[in-house]
Structure 1
Amino acid sequence: MHLTGIQIGSLLLFLGVLGFICSRTDFTQLAKDKAFQHRFFGAITCVFVLWLFRVSIYDGLVMHFLWLTTLTLVLGLRWAILGATVVLIGSTIIGQESASMFGVNALLGVVLPIGFTYLVYMLTFHKISRNLFIYIFLCAFFPGAITMVLKMLAMSGYFYIEGMYPWDVIEYNYTQMTILMMFPEAFFNGMTITCLIVYKPDLVYTFEDKFYIDGK
C-alpha cells in the first residue's frame, strides 16, 4: 500500500488527536456502566449501518450521510470521536473505505464534523440563552448541515490537491452535490435529536432538562 505525503501526515495527525483523547478518557465507564454500553454500541451500530448506504459516480468520490452531529450530542466529544473511529475502522475492514485513505477520512470525515458540532454546542451553551428550540435548531439542525458542507468541501480540496481528478470532474460530480446532501443531513440529525429529547432525554449526554426546559 503506497501512501502519499498528505495521507501519511493526516494519519500521524489523527493518531496524535486520538492519543490525546484516549489519555483523557475514562474507559472504565464503558466497562462498568451497562446503560452507557448500550448507548455507545447502539449509536455506533446505527452510524455504521447508515454509512453502508452510499453513492459514487467516480471511484473515490463517495457520498453518504454522516449522522455525526447526533453522535456528538448523544455521546459527547471524546466518545463520539472514539465511536466514529471504530465505525471508520469497520468500514475500512469490509472494503467500504480505502485503507490508504484512513488518515484523511479520519481527519476530514470524523474529527472535523464532530469537532465543529461540539464547538457550536459549547458556544450556544455558554453564549446564548438556553432553551429547547435553541438546542434543537442551533445544536442539531445547523451543525448537521454545516458538517456535511465542511466534509465535502474539505474532501474536494484533498482530491484536487492529490490530483485524483481534474477540478471540473470533482466539482460537477462531488462538490456541487453538497447542496443536495446538506439539507437531508440537517433534517436527519435535527429530527433524531428532537425525538430523543422528547422520548428518551436520558440518552442524550449534552441535554439536561434543568438547562433547557425548567423555568423557561
Structure 2
Amino acid sequence: MNLLLPPNSALFWLATAITVPMLWLAIRHAPWSQLLVSQTRQHILFASVLALALLWLLQVEVRATLAIHPLLMTVTTMVFGWSFALLIGASALIVLECYQLPLRALHMDWDMALAQFDLTTWPVDFCLSVIVPASWAWCVLWLVDRWKFKNPFTYFWGVGFFGAMLSCLLVGVTALVLFALTGSDIHLSNTREHFFVFLLMTFPEGFVNGLLATVMTVLYPDLVKTYRDDWYLKD
C-alpha cells in the first residue's frame, strides 16, 4: 500500500519515528556474514528488490489518494528473515519510484516527472507495505516453530498462505489506525470506504506467497533461512 498524496506533517513524523529504529535494528541484526559468503544468495537478494518493485507497479489506485498492490513480504521474510526482508522492502520502494519516472515521462516532460519524485511518502509506505507484513510473518513463523504439530505443510500453508492472507487485513487495519491518529482525513475516509479491496486481495496474496514459499523450500531449501528440516521433518 502506497500513498499517492503527500502525508501531513503528523503522519510523516510518526511514520519516520517508527521507520528509523526499525531500519537500525534491521541493519544491526542482519546476518551479513551469511550473505557475503554466498553469491547465489546475493543474486537472489538483488533480484528480489527489482522483482518486488516491478510487482508493486501492479497497483490499484483509490481516488488518486492510495495505491494498493500485492505485498509478497511474507515469502520474502520466509526466505531472508526479518532483517533482510525490511532492507529489501526499503530498497524496493526506492526502486519503485525510479521505475515510475519513465512511466510519468510518457504523459509529461521529464522536468515535471522529476518534480513529482517525492520521497516524503516513503516512511509511510515503508511502515504499511514492509514493516507490518514482514513483522506479522515473523510472528507467525515464531508461533509455527513452537507448534507441536510437526508437518512441512504448517510451514508452507500456515505461514505462506494463511499468514499472507491475514497480512492484507492487518495492513488495512494499521492504515486506518495510523491515519486516524494523525488526522489524515482524506486517506482515512478513502481507506475506510474501499476497505473491501483489502478483503479481495487476501486470497491472491495468500496463493502467490504460499506457492512461492513451497517452490523455494522444495527446490532450494538451503536458501530459505527460516526453514528447518530438523523440526518440520522430524519423526
Give the structure-1-normalised TM-score. 0.88
Going from structure 1 to structure 2, the CA distance change for 1:195 and 1:152 (only over 3 Å counts) comes to same
> Which of residues 209, 214, 217 is equivalent to 1:189?
209
Aligned residue for 1:177? 197
Q: Percent identity?
A: 24
Residue type at the aligned position of 1:195: V
Greater relative CO (CA pairs within 8 A, separation 6+): 2
* Gap runs ≥5 in structure 2: 1-5, 102-116
Instruction: Return the letter of the residue paired with 2:21.
Output: G
- Quick check: 54-63 or 181-190, which moved more? 54-63
Residues 87-109 of structure 1: CA distance to partner in whole angstroms, max 9, x if unpaired? 11222344588522211111122
Measure, in 2, the Cα distance between the counterparts of 1:20 and 1:170. Answer: 30
SS of equivalent to 1:62: strand
Question: For residues 135-154 of structure 1, what are the structure 2 equivalents within 5 Å?
Answer: 135-154=155-174
Q: Which moved more, 1:157-166 or 1:202-211?
A: 157-166
Deviates more, 1:115-124 or 1:192-201: 192-201
State the one-letter code of the partner of 2:14.
G
Counterpart position of 1:18: 23
Alpha-carbon distance in structure 2 between the residues aligned to 1:2 and 1:144: 27
**Are residues 1:122 and 2:122 paired?**
no
Deviations 1:172-203 (A, max 9, x none): 3x211121111110111011111222222222
Corresponding position: 1:86 with 2:107: no
* Structure 1 unaligned spans of 5+: none
Work out which of the residue numbers 51, 75, 95 in structure 2 matches 1:70: 75
**What is the alpha-carbon root mean square deviation over aligned residues?**
2.3
Correspondent of 1:37 among 12, 36, 42: 42
1:56: which partner in 2? 61
Length-normalised TM-score, structure 2: 0.81
